Structure 1
Amino acid sequence: MVLHLIGLGLGDIKDITVRGLETARACEKIYLEMYTSILSYGLDRTELNAAFGKEVIEADREMVEQLADQVLDEATTADIAVLVVGDPFGATTHADLVLRAKHRGIAVDVVHNASIMNAVGCCGLQLYSYGETVSIVMWTDGWQPESYFDKIVSNFERGLHTLCLLDIKVKEQSVENMMKGNKKFEPPRYQSCSEAASQLLTIAERRIERGEGSPISAETPVVGLARVGWRDQKIASCSLAKMSTADLGPPLHCLVIPGKMHPLEEDMLATFALSD
Structure 2
Amino acid sequence: MIPDRRALLVGAAALAATGPARARAAGDLDLTGRFVQGGHALGRTWPRALIFVDGEALAAASSSGRFIVGFDRDAPSSVRIEARLDGRSAGRTLDIAPGDFPVTRVDGLPSSTVTPSDPALLARIAREVELKTEGFASRLDADHFHDGFDWPVTGFRVSSRWGAQRVLNGTPARPHYGIDLAVPAGTVIRAPAAGRVTLAEPGLHFEGGLVLIDHGQGLITAYLHQSRLDVRAGQDVRRGDSLGRVGMTGRATGPHLCWRMKWRNRNMDPSLLTRT
TM-score of the aligned structures, taking structure 1 as reference length? 0.27
Q: Which has a greater percent of helix?
A: 1
Q: Which has a greater percent of strand?
A: 2
Task: Indicate the structure (1 or 2) with the bigger Cα radius of gyration.
Answer: 1
